[in-house]
Each structure stands twice: as C-alpha cells, then as structure tokens.
Amino acid sequence: MTETVEEPVEETVETVTETAEEPVEETVETVTETVEEPVEAEAPAEENAEAAVVNEVVTTAEETVEEPVIEAVTEANDDTEETDVVAVVEGDEIKSDEFVEMAVFNRYQILSSYNQYAQYYAMFGLPLDDVNTYYENLMGEDGKQDLGQSTINQLAYFKMLELEAAEMGLEATDKEAVDQMKANFGYDQQDKEAEESLGLDTFNIDTDISNEEDEEEFKNYIQMDLDVSFNGKISYEFLREYVRHGILENKVVEKLLEGRVFEEEMVNARHILVDEEETAKELLEKLNAGEEWDALAAEYSKDTGNKDQGGALGWFGRNVMVSEFEDAAFALEPGEISEPIKTSFGWHIIASDGKEIRPMEDEALQAAQNEVYEEWYNSLQEKYNVESYPEVWLPIVPLEPVFEAIVINPEAQNPDIPTFHIISDEEGTEGEDAENKNSEQTVDKDEAGNEYESSEDEEDLTIRNTEQDDELGIKNTEQESTAYLINNDAENK
C-alpha cells in the first residue's frame, strides 16, 4: 500500500510543478482528485503523514500559481481603463466621451466666430482670403493638436474651478443652471405668453421645474433645439453642465473681486487736431494772444466728433490714447496747454482741465478686473497637477462639423446686404477672382468717391489706442469669461 500511494503523489507533484502555468482551478482539481481518493481508501498513520505532505504541496501550488494570475488580471484591467482616460486633474479623471463632446462644441463655437468675421468683412467689402486660410488651418487636420489641447485645457479648468469654488465655500447647482437655461431660451416667457393668450392667470401659475415630469418636458424641449443647432452631437446634460460652470465661474470671480478698489490716475483733457505743424503753431499763438479755445476748436479741429464741444475728451486713464498723446496729456498740470504734439493722426494742441485719482470706468475697469482674473487663472497651473495623455486624445479629436469657406457673391445687387455662397473645388479660383474684383471695386469707389469725414459714431477714434485689436481686425475678446468662450490657446499658437 505504501508504494501504491507514493507513486501517484510523486507524479502529481511533478505535474503541478511542470504545469503551474496552466489554469489554476483545473490543476488544483486534478491534484485534489488524484491525491485524495487513494488517501481516503486507506488511512494508516504513515499514509496520513504522506497525505498531509501532499496537501501541503497542493496548497503551496495554489498559492504560488494564483497570485501572479490575479496580478496579471489587475494590470490588464488597469490598462483597459486608461485607454478611456484623456487627462487626470488631482486624481479626477476626464473621460474620452467628455472630451469628444466638448471638442465638437468648440468646433461649432469656432464656426460661429468665423461667420461673424465673414459678416463683418462682407459689410465693408473686404476680401476673406486671410480669414479663410486661418480657419482652414485651425479646423483642418493640421489643427487637431491645438484644438485637442485647448479642449483638454478647458475641461481641466472646469475641474480646477470646482476645487477652487469648494475652497471658497461656493457652489452652483443644477437648478441654477436650468433656471439660467430657461431664461436664455425664453422658456418661461413662452409659457406666460401662451397663458395670457388663453386668458389664464399667470400670477398663480408656477412655471419653475418642480417635478420629474416638468423637468423631462423641459429637457425634451431643449434637446430638440440642440439637435437642430448641433446636428444631434450635443446633449442636454452637456449644456446644463456647461452653463453650471459658467455660473460657478461668475461666483468665483465675484469672490476674487470682493473688497477690491479699482482706481487710477486720470486726466481731463481737450484737444484741437490739425494736419500741419505750422497750423498748430498758429493756433498756439492765437491761444496765447487770448483767443477763445472753443471758437478755435470749432473752426480748425479735424475731430468732428468733439470739435463743437471744444474738443473735450473727458476723463481718461493710461493705455487709452496713443502713447504720444497720452504722455503729453499726463505731463500737463491742470490749466496748462501743450506745445504741438505729433501723432499718426496729425498735430494736436492739448489742454488739461484736471488730473486726479479716480475710480476706474468702462474699459479700464474691465481690464483691471481681467488682470485679477488672469493672475488667479495662471496660479491654477502651479497649484494643481494635471496629467494629459495626447496618445489617447489626439486620435479621437473630431473633424466635424466641417469648415466650409465663404465668399461674397460678386453679383449681389445691394452691397449693403451681401450674398454668400460656399466655395466648391470647381469654383475656388473663380471665388478668389470675385473677391479680388470686389476689393478693387471698393478701392476705386473710395478713391473716386466722397471724401472721408468723421461722424458722431467715430468720436475720439482718431486718437484712441487701437493696438489691442486682434490680428483679424476685430476687437480682441479673449478677456471674456472662459465659460462662455472657447479657450483661445489654439487660435493664438
């Protein structure tokens, strides 16, 4: 009997050792079946001892084999999950579906800005060649890297915004977002108008979303609009989160600006603008001789926007006027009159009516507040850890909606209401010729037509600083809330 037990045991142990890489459960079952049956049949002490050795070997085999298998499975699962993660912000993952939807939304935003540029250029009969080239690059295959990175930046910013808001004790709820969406879409107003047309008492009707049925109705209402506007690519939930982050950002900015005083040195000045230096010197002599400033301004000044008001410019701070004019105005003490000052617009005589520290207003105030916001925004990059995986997100950057260039139709009868058509491959050259022809006609008309004169709408434009205009000729809007505009990093690269 001893020989009968020992032989299968040795065989089995060898089998376990040699086939440890095979599936564990099958091997263990084989070992158990092979060993246990002979041991149960006969049970002398010696045999029981040998059976204990066998069980120990089996247990060891189980432990040795199972552990690597579990680790391998865990690693495999980790790898599978990471393929769906495009970035991580402080341990919070950004998934691929979030990325794609935001990228599609950004493409629609870019197309919207392009259409605005096209309308603006068409209004003044300007060729769109440079604009079209810029957007073709931005929206094409070459622009995937920049579009993808700007989308990652935006999604990461939303994550950091949540963390910052939590530190400040701030939050924005889904209900706040829905209420804002209702206001934007005129949802409540439509209800009220319908109720009034039916003679219902609108004061006793609560139009807020108060239950699941009403919320579902509003969701369907918005989703239908989104399906039309975004070709079914944007969901109600995405828009609600987008709006919620905009509300949250406004709260954070209000907190950042809380208690801050925005003041700066300002001057109150007047000017008379002429073409020639000799004329400016003659005017200065007349003023020194006692002639009235207002009368001379009305007679000589080219700035028709304020010549009849004595050339009054009101209070202004730094970085508003062109540098030569600004430096001269701030160098004057109240009551002083400058020597003739040369700028790109002509020759100026400047009079100072005051200089003091005053609260900022309008563009100056907005610029100062934006500076606070930018300082905070830049600090986020150092404060939070953001890991981006371009090897995951770059292949999935969408190329839809597709960019299609616009040209002005040269056959439009009314130049004030331009007609557009899409450039096709066959008529691309014809479209370029049409743009050039349109441009030439505009130049000829300008050279042969009415003389340029300032209008009331152009008040102070002759001396305002326009260096902040962007490269496409329209006022730079990058300082607006990032929750309502796309991140412009891609466009600025």
Q: Mind listing the pLDDT tens digit for each residue in 164-212? A: 999 999 999 999 999 999 998 887 655 555 445 544 443 343 444 455 6
Amino acid at 72: A
Amino acid at 142: D
Which residues make beta-bridge pairs with 347? 274, 342
**What pLDDT does 480 receive?**
36
- Annotate 310-328 with b (16+ C-beta within 10 A) or e (fewer): bbbbebbbeebbbeebbeb
Token couple for 466: 């326009």
Token couple for 120: 């603006």
**What pLDDT does 133 receive?**
93
Question: In this structure, how many other beta carbons lie within 10 angstroms of the beta carbon of residue 281?
Answer: 15
**What pLDDT does 26 receive?**
42
Residue with tokens 């810029």: 134
**What pLDDT does 468 receive?**
39
Amino acid at 283: L
Distance (Å, whole) CA 479 – CA 473? 16
- Return phi, psi of residue 166, to 5°: -60, -40
**What pLDDT does 174 receive?**
95
**What pLDDT does 407 receive?**
74
Token couple for 395: 């292949």
**What pLDDT does 390 receive?**
96
Contact at 8 Å (CB) between 373 and 82?
A: no
Contact at 8 Å (CB) between 255 and 269?
A: no
**What pLDDT does 363 receive?**
86
Distance (Å, whole) CA 412 – CA 405? 18
Distance (Å, whole) CA 192 – CA 201? 9
Which residue positions in the chain have pLDDT lower than 50?
1-82, 194-195, 198-209, 412-493
**What pLDDT does 450 receive?**
38
**What pLDDT does 331 receive?**
97
